[in-house]
Chains A and B, each alone.
Chain A
Amino acid sequence: QKEVEQDPGPLSVPEGAIVSLNCTYSNSAFQYFMWYRQYSRKGPELLMYTYSSGNKEDGRFTAQVDKSSKYISLFIRDSQPSDSATYLCAITDSWGKLQFGAGTQVVVTP
């Protein structure tokens, strides 16, 4: 069993809808929780990161962490076709070794 589980999708939504993505993890030693976005044939790029349980907002993006349930989420409000990409959750221990989820492919249709 992988330490970070993520549904690979694909997830197709109409433009303007809310996109909801989530991951579960098994190791309670994980400290930092990140979301990376990867466009087709490109390298991943960091979208958001958080340390503690709770919500963190950045524009249309909200990252949510529930350490008691070992569950992290990313919400994209007012989704745009330019949000079409693969979103990977990533979790790191105190040494900075990232464990990635499988990535969820998101398609936002105009």
Chain B
Amino acid sequence: DAGVIQSPRHEVTEMGQEVTLRCKPISGHNSLFWYRQTMMRGLELLIYFNNNVPIDDSGMPEDRFSAKMPNASFSTLKIQPSEPRDSAVYFCASRLGGSASGSHNEQFFGPGTRLTVL
């Protein structure tokens, strides 16, 4: 089993550029989560999809951030325009089961994308 796949693993960009992070969840998992991890704020949930539908995007910091899940095997997180304060490690996680029924199920995390915005 390949686990959750994220790309790129590292991204260095300049302020103002568009950044697109990609995630392939574990096959058969129907819930997908995007997190951001920084030293200051820890691990924060940005957005959560269930069956490709965004359920909770209250963690998305501002309109510069957007996420899509066009199908069950692919999701993107886009930042446009990027700013230095967006520098962080972005994790994607997937889980089997929907909201209430799968709430205790394990979330499997990908290796993360380390984003640096200069």
Give me the interface of A with B, judged by CB distance under 8 Å: 31-32, 41-46, 49, 51, 88, 92-103
Contacts and interface: CB of A to CB of B under 8 A. Distances in A.
Contacts of A43: 4, 91, 93, 109-112
A96 B102 contact: yes
Interface residues of B, number: 28
Interface of B: 4, 31, 33, 42-45, 48, 55-56, 91, 93, 95, 97-100, 102-112
A97 B48 contact: yes
Contacts of B98: 96
Contacts of A101: 42
B43 A96 contact: no
Contacts of A97: 45, 48, 56
Main secondary structure of the interface of A (DSSP, over half): loop
Contact of B106 (A31, A46, A94, A102): A46
24 contacts: A31-B104, A43-B4, A43-B93, A43-B109, A43-B110, A43-B111, A44-B109, A46-B107, A49-B106, A92-B103, A92-B104, A93-B103, A94-B100, A94-B103, A95-B100, A96-B31, A96-B102, A96-B105, A97-B45, A97-B56, A98-B45, A98-B107, A100-B42, A100-B43
Contacts of B100: 94-96
